[in-house]
Amino acid sequence: MKISETISFLDAWAPPSLAEDYDNVGLLVGKKDNPVSKILVSLDATVGVVQEAIDLGCELIVSHHPILFKGLKKLNSQNYVARTVEKAIQNNIGLFALHTNLDAISTGVNFKMAEKLRLQNLKPLRPVAGKLLQLSFFVPLQDKDKVLTAIHLAGAGNIGNYSQCSFSTEGLGRFLPNENSNPAIGIIGNLEEVNEIKINVILPTHLKNKVLSVLFAAHPYEEVAYFITQLENQWQDAGSGMIGNLPEAIGKEQLIELVKEKFNLKVLRFTDSEKSSIQKIALCGGSGFFLLGDAVAQNADAYITSDIKYHEFFDAEGRLMLMDIGHFESEQFTSELIIEKLSNQFPNIAVLLSKTVTNPVFYA
Ligand SMILES: [Zn+2]
């Protein structure tokens, strides 16, 4: 199998277009035409992880954090980033990263955290906006079902928990085929009128090319009349952080014990809250202080994230328990998630969990 097949699958799961602008996701090192039989999965790609890949005979490392994040202008072993990249290139090992795109999808980093806490009714804490399109097109009445089925299968028409959503109106379509045309209905040089239906559907931006090619293939006309409009709507299936409910309300002490147990923590930092009963939990893997306002606005009883600074803890103002469980700790199950996904899709490829400890932080 080629690395490109792995990439196509991972890109369909966690679309790169959902990554933040500052991010750097995808194949960072290596050739996509290279063969792959073993994949090593790790939260971070470091020199130690590359060595592990060499020892195990892996041709590809899939990590959450991209080793190439800021500009790298020299490759002279000057720092750990350069040394990691150099070692990967020297040993023909590919480095692939899914970072904020894996944070944004509803089955990504935050889903895995929520699953560990058995949260229910999950939603993005801050749904992404500007990533949806409206597609309107015109089709002869008798071809409506065939075309709708095709574009729904390609991913158009999903709204929250509802699929195959569309809205139609009937009308009269008109066209004049010229001498170079090959009309499915009508005759060259004759103005034609056809009973058509106008269908409107919503679709994620990253599926635009796929849905259009399926539309063109399923539609009977040589030229398909359609409009695409960019929407400002929030997308309920993707965004930053996640919010959901514990199966039942618990006390503050119980929540602390639950989080410590599920995330294997020796220690966590938190603020006290005026609420005594905890059920609605917001969370965000990695550095999530920027979502504190969203957690408060949605009336969360606790917000679990990492990288909170001293003065930022004050901002909770007793409205919820603000918990810092550590960056590595919050994302520790991400490798497990990627392995589950890859192993299911590629049963003939060995997908291995890295045993290298990449967390640079120790607690004493
Ligand atoms: Zn992170």
Q: State residue 282 phi and psi, 5-degree precision.
A: -100, 150
- Look at residue 298 in the predicted model and tell me its pLDDT: 97
Closest CA to 102 of 62, 140, 157, 68: 62
Residue-wise pLDDT for 296-322, tens only, equals 999 999 999 999 999 999 999 999 999
What value does the mean pLDDT take over residues 15-38?
Answer: 96
- Is the CB of residue 197 less than 8 Å from the CB of residue 168? yes
State which amino acid sits at residue 48. Answer: G
What value does the mean pLDDT take over residues 203-208?
Answer: 96
State the average pLDDT for the chain. 96
- Is the CB of residue 330 less than 8 Å from the CB of residue 306? yes
- Look at residue 71 in the predicted model and tell me its pLDDT: 85
What value does the mean pLDDT take over residues 165-185?
Answer: 97
How confident is residue 160, by pLDDT bands cut at 50, 70 and 90?
Answer: confident
- Look at residue 166 in the predicted model and tell me its pLDDT: 98
What value does the mean pLDDT take over residues 343-352?
Answer: 97
Residue 70 alpha carbon to ligand 1 centre in Å: 15
Q: How far apart are CA 243 and CA 303, in angstroms?
A: 9
Residue 95 alpha carbon to ligand 1 centre in Å: 17
How confident is residue 2, by pLDDT bands cut at 50, 70 and 90?
Answer: very high
Confidence check: pLDDT of 161 > 90: no
Q: Say which range, 130-134, 202-206, 234-238, 324-328, has the weakest mean pLDDT.
A: 234-238
Residue 335 alpha carbon to ligand 1 centre in Å: 12
Confidence check: pLDDT of 356 > 90: yes
How confident is residue 85, by pLDDT bands cut at 50, 70 and 90?
Answer: very high
pTM, rounded to two decimals? 0.89
How confident is residue 139, by pLDDT bands cut at 50, 70 and 90?
Answer: very high
Q: State residue 263 phi and psi, 5-degree precision.
A: -105, 10
Tell me the β-bridge partners of 240: 126
DSSP 8-state code for residue 233:
P
Compute and round to an integer the Cα radius of gyration of the chain.
25
Residue 101 alpha carbon to ligand 1 centre in Å: 12
Q: State residue 102 phi and psi, 5-degree precision.
A: -80, -25
- Is the CB of residue 359 less than 8 Å from the CB of residue 328? yes
Residue 11 alpha carbon to ligand 1 centre in Å: 19
- Look at residue 275 in the predicted model and tell me its pLDDT: 93
**In percent, how much of the chain has pLDDT > 70?**
100
- Is the CB of residue 308 less than 8 Å from the CB of residue 328? no
What value does the mean pLDDT take over residues 200-214?
Answer: 97
- Is the CB of residue 235 less than 8 Å from the CB of residue 132? yes
Residue 282 alpha carbon to ligand 1 centre in Å: 17
